[in-house]
Structure 1
Amino acid sequence: MTTGIAVLNFGEPAVADRDVVEDYLERIFLANMDIEGETTQEAARERARSLAERRAPGLIEEYGEIGGSPLNAHADRQAELVETELRDRGYDVKTYVGYQFMEPFVEDAAEAAHDDGVDRLIGLPVYPLCGPSTTVQALEKLSNAVDDLDWDVPYTEITGYHTHSAYARLRADNIRETLNREGLELDSDTRLIFSAHGTPTYYLDEGSRYVQYVEEYCKMVAGMLGNPEWELGYQNHANRDVEWTQPDVEDVIEEIDAERVVVDPTSFMHEQSETLGELDHDLREEAEEEGLGFTRVPVPYDDERFVGLLADLTEPFIADFDPDLYGLQQCKCRPEPNAMCLNARRND
């Protein structure tokens, strides 16, 4: 019995091409148009295109500076490693990469798995922190694609897993290794900054627990590091006139009373524009203007421990044993009977 695993990611342009970037941004803005209130589909498309054209020049410049985003290449590598790991465990599996906003799209992954005739399908977003515009949207796309194919296949979704002990330990070890490599210690002179991707507060008002999950992650990782002083800031995108999570990480940097900051890209699992551009360039510049030394923790996207964790999450559904033995229960953020996560028990 062959299991198909749709490894889902956001996707980013690998080149600084205007048409590619504008189309990419238009898809993102259109997918999240509900944060601006009700509108017609035609008006939504016009608004999304207008926002894309306005945002594109800055992002094109950013992609040019970083040589294009490596996100897709990293995601492809993760999928290959997960397939290899599960095959080494003796399972008949095949992974399919699908991106929310770049080709191959999530729908392409579903179609490829369908054409290969897999006997069951697992949706696996590579977003440890469950969010509405990432995890939930990606799985909605996959579920809709399966329905559109009129495909009667046993289908499971995996959502949030940031509380997995192996994940928190991996991230804590990654910070510790960076400190050791740079000859640093977290003390009164060197402050740990967690930098999380921001989200519009609209989603929080609608019931998303994203901020709760971010804070849980920070507390777990900080605890594994001996509970040093730490701060949390959000990388918000002021593309629309809507409220975002606070505080902005730039504001956090301005208020730091230390000599140096060590910045952890909180639960980013790929190097991308938000790490290589927003952190390595923009935030570093902010920190240096404040007289702060700056160290950014690299993303452990191809660490064998993360690959093993992703394999572990899918294993109950491949090996046909009770997923609750691994702590996986029906998700509350995506209340579908086939959506499973590690957060459900605490959210009862």
Structure 2
Amino acid sequence: MRPILCHAQRHGLVERGFPAGHCLFHLGPWTCSVQTESVVGALREAFGIDPLWSASFLGLTCFVTIFGGLRRISAVMERVVPIMALLYILGGLAILVQHLPQVPATLELIVRSAFTPMAGVGGFAGATVKDAMRYGIARGLYSNDAGTGYGIIAHATARTDHPVRQASWGWGEVFLDTIVVCSVMALSLLLTNSYIDYPGVDSARLTTVAFRISFGDWGAWFMAIAITVFAWTTIIGMYYSCEKSVNYAFGDTRCNRRATKVYMIYYMIPCVVLYNAKADALWAMTDILSAIYVMITILFIVTQRKEIFRLFNDFWFRFLPAQERGENPPVVAYGTVPVKGARK
């Protein structure tokens, strides 16, 4: 028995043994390198800051935060992220308002371009329908982690009376992150025409340029800061998932405490060292790893499908009705679904 992950196993959709193999294998810090690239690009575009200084500052502050443990991570995230996310969305909506007459035509362009090859303009010149689908799916997966398995570890730590209740909140993350935030930002890039007027600019720098076009230097400064905050919280949030893998592998032992300290250093290496790598190369590496995550997650779902469906049926047809009748059913955990009385 490994006590450190017992809480996750008691309260979340985590199969015993799965998180460790998944997260140690996914090499999370290497996928975080795209976050560093976004930060150094945005800060250079907005403030002219040397990438080495930006990467060093990001690495140092992330290390100090993760060294403080989960409580510090949670405290930082719950205060910073909602405010910046709201301002980020409002800024994108303001661009939409500025170009309101062009919004319908832009939406039509998005739909039409998804099913026809693009002309030789912009940073996605000559893209085919297959390219659009390939990059759309890849970026969508990375933006919300749907199907990659990261959410399993994050949700598993929640205090809840039934795993399905916690799992039901997952749809909101996907909708807000991809459908709302990414759509608003895509429209901002298209409406400002930045993807055509600045063909040599990509990644987070292009978003920074779009805000500069609409709001001047203040817009670029805000976007650079927002991207830095989002990347920073992504790095420390992903670290938490990786740390749980280390905890699970070593258990509640002295070796675990030592291994965790070593992993902290290892985790920050690619986030700092690869700051100057090409965005295309970093995204290619990230896409490959994301595909591996999805295959592992699918394997988990297939092998655990009976227990997953038992949990689903138990929550909607036994547990929830019992609560609505005023009863107080005992807490349900993964692998402990009372088969008797659960609808099949």
TM-score tier, shorter chain, comes to under 0.3
TM-score by length of 1: 0.27
* Higher helix content, 1 or 2: 2
TM-score by length of 2: 0.27
* Larger Cα-atom Rg: 2
| Structure having greater relative contact order (Cα 8 Å, sep ≥ 6) | 2
